[in-house]
Each structure stands twice: as C-alpha cells, then as structure tokens.
Amino acid sequence: MRIAIVNDTVMIVEILRRIITSVPGYDIAWVAYNGKSAVDYCARDTPDLILMDMIMPEMDGAQATRVIMQQSPCAIVIVTADIKKNSGKIFEAMGYGALDVVSSPIMGIPEPDKLHHLLLKTIASIGIFTGTVPPKWSSTYPGTNNDPSTIKRLSQPPRHLPPLIIIGASTGGPRALATVLRELPSNFEGSIVIIQHVDVQFSSGLAKWLNEQTPLPVVLASEGNTLDARKVLLAGTNDHLVLRSNLTLTYTKEPYNYPYRPSIDVFCESVAQYWSRKGISILLTGMGRDGAMGLKKLRRRGWHTIAQNQQSCVVYGMPKAAVEMGAAKEVLPLSEIASTLIKRVRLIA
C-alpha cells in the first residue's frame, strides 16, 4: 500500500514515516506540509491512502479533502492532535469523504506506541470498506428470539409509538446527515435513529456537531432509551445498536464477524422484528453494502425505503447496493430527502 503523509509538523511526519515503513508492504508515496501541496501532489501521483492533518497553512485538511475527493479521489484518514477543538473541521472532512480519524501525539508529549497501534489498526481496516460481500452473520440479538409468535403479539401498533425513521450512513455521511436534519422542523413528529459508521471516540463529537445543525435535539443512544418523537438518537459505540422486545435500545457485540460497526443492517433487522408500526428507512452515502439487506427487510414489512441517488453521494456504494437488490422504493437526491420525510411522516403520524 502506498501511503502519503500531509502534516506541517516535522516531528509528527517522522513518527508517521517510521510507523508506516515498519510494516512490510507499506511504502511512503510522498510527503506534503500543507493542504495545497497535497492537492498538487495527489493530482500527479494518487496514493492508496492519505494521512491528512487538519490545521495547516495555505489550505486546511477539510478543504484539501474536498478538492482531492473531487479531482483525484482516494482513501483519506484524518490524523490530528486536538480532536475536540477541531471537531467541526473533522466532520466537515468526513462529509467530503474522509474515512476515519486518528488522534496524533500532542507536541511535547509523544505517544508513538499508542499511535503505532491505533494507526496500523485503522489502515488495516480501510480495505474492509471496499469489500463487496459482507460476512455471514446471525440474525439473533439479545432480547430477540426470532419467534413469529412475538411478532404476531405486536401486530397491533400501540398508539403511543411515533413514526420511526432510520438513517444509515458511512463515507460522506456527516455532511449528508446535517443537510437532512437542518431542514426538519422542531415539531417534527418522527423519532429518528442514526447509524453512522464512526469510531466511538468521535461519536460524542459527531452528536454535538449534528445538534448544532438542527432544531431537533441530537444525543447519543444509551442503554434503555425509548424511541420518542421530536428526538434524534445517534448510535454511539463500536458495538451494534439494537431494539429489544420491550421497545428499548441496547448495544450488543454480536455479530462479532460483521465488519461495519455499528451496523445499519443489524439495527434494521432488530427493528423489523419488534417495531410494529411502519416507518421510513433511508440509506445515505457510503462505501460497502451495509444497510442494503436491512432496507430490503423493512420494505418487505411495508416500510417506505429511500436510497440517496448517485449524483449527490460522495461514495455511491451502500445506496447502490440497496437499489440493485430492490430494497429502495425511492431513489432521491440529498436535497429532496428532508421534504419527503416531512410529507411521509404526516401521512403515518
């Protein structure tokens, strides 16, 4: 794998260089010390992966990511020292297509061993997101028993259940999510659950950032949460968020061998089993195929399912998989998803 380094701190560049070259098969493609140079280098020699700093002179990491993904797209991982301080820029970069974020050593307090482990783990996982066939996984989760009689007992929708909206996203997801959420009114009667592929150390920052984009409150989903109207819950751990038979949320490590964590498919499967009322499920931009099977199962149960169209996606992977398997009832540009949600919720509220 040919890896480029974009960072304006010489010490960090050298640490990253040593980590990369310590692994057979990993080579340094080039080094740039600001975003503008990175754009130029990438146009001439596109690497397999870029390790992108966030705060740099001339052009920051978010803008460099935007231009690179437009002109010479490749995998990008943000490597930055102050995640909390730069959270807005980080999620802007992820909206443009950055795959993940890794915390780099702070100046004067090097942590090469910690960075070595985390960075190599992240680089190794990048290949997962370009796979075309997900591993087999069990459809049995804590609190579920796949018993048809359970579904039958819940066939009459309790009146207090709000319309449920599930939104799944991966690469490019933060910006797409913000685009949808900011158009929803504060009195929106649906309950929204978001499954975004993001590591646990960044989930709270993402929730805070999304909360600033919409009049609806956005919080991390916690053990025992119920699904309430006028509220947005974001899956917040590296385990899978699922719905239990008592209609509360929990997290589970199973299925262990499913690469997408938290998984959209796993959450949709649990909802299909226990949520008796029809709802709306949306699959936004992202690499891979997570969410397509879940969307199809919900459509079979009468849900309205939407896939983002290719033209408005940063990466047309997950929505494409849903469209190809007939899981999406509608294929819409990102700009039309919020208005469609508002209309649909009024019909089922």
204 in the same domain as 289: yes
Q: What is the dihedral of CA 235, 144, 283, 315, to 10 degrees?
A: 70
Given 85, 102, 130, the domain boundary residue is 130
For residue 135, is it within any domain? no
For residue 137, is it within any domain? no
For residue 143, is it within any domain? no
- Give the chain's domain count: 2
152 in the same domain as 119: no
Calpha distance 247→335 (Å, rounded): 32
Identify the pLDDT of residue 106: 55
Identify the pLDDT of residue 110: 46
Minimal CA–CA distance to 78: which of 219, 129, 95? 95
**Domain range enclosing 235:** 148-348
CB 43 within 8 A of CB 72: yes
Task: Please indicate whether residue 37 is annotated as part of the active site.
Answer: no
Identify the pLDDT of residue 294: 96
Task: Please indicate whether residue 197 is annotated as part of the active site.
Answer: yes
Region class of 273: left (phi > 0), else alpha (psi between -120 and 50), else beta: alpha
- Of 37, 53, 87, 197, the catalytic one is 197
Task: Please indicate whether residue 204 is annotated as part of the active site.
Answer: no
Ranges of the chain whose pLDDT falls below 50: 107-110, 128-159
Calpha distance 221→166 (Å, rounded): 13
For residue 198, is it within any domain? yes
195 in the same domain as 89: no
For residue 94, is it within any domain? yes
Given 130, 159, 182, the domain boundary residue is 130
334 in the same domain as 269: yes
Q: Can you give the CATH number for the domain in which 109 is found? A: 3.40.50.2300
Q: In what order do the strands lie in the sheet with 2-6?
A: 27-32, 2-6, 49-52, 75-80, 100-103
Identify the pLDDT of residue 105: 60
For residue 140, is it within any domain? no
For residue 336, is it within any domain? yes
322 in the same domain as 207: yes
Identify the pLDDT of residue 127: 52
244 in the same domain as 283: yes
CB 259 within 8 A of CB 128: yes
For 19-31, give the DSSP string. Answer: HHHTSTT-EEEEE
159 in the same domain as 76: no
114 in the same domain as 191: no
Calpha distance 307→318 (Å, rounded): 9
For residue 139, is it within any domain? no
Calpha distance 14→219 (Å, rounded): 38
106 in the same domain as 32: yes
- Of 37, 87, 170, 203, the catalytic one is 170
Calpha distance 6→27 (Å, rounded): 14
36 in the same domain as 177: no
Burial pattern 128-150, b for ≥16 Cβ within 10 A else e, equals ebeeeebeebeeebebbeeeeee
Q: Can you give the CATH number for the domain in which 222 is found? A: 3.40.50.180
pTM higher than 0.95: no
Calpha distance 312→306 (Å, rounded): 14
Given 74, 96, 130, the domain boundary residue is 130
- Of 191, 290, 304, 312, the catalytic one is 290
Interacting residues of 300 by C-beta distance below 8 A, sequence separation 6+ = none
172 in the same domain as 65: no
Identify the pLDDT of residue 153: 37
152 in the same domain as 81: no
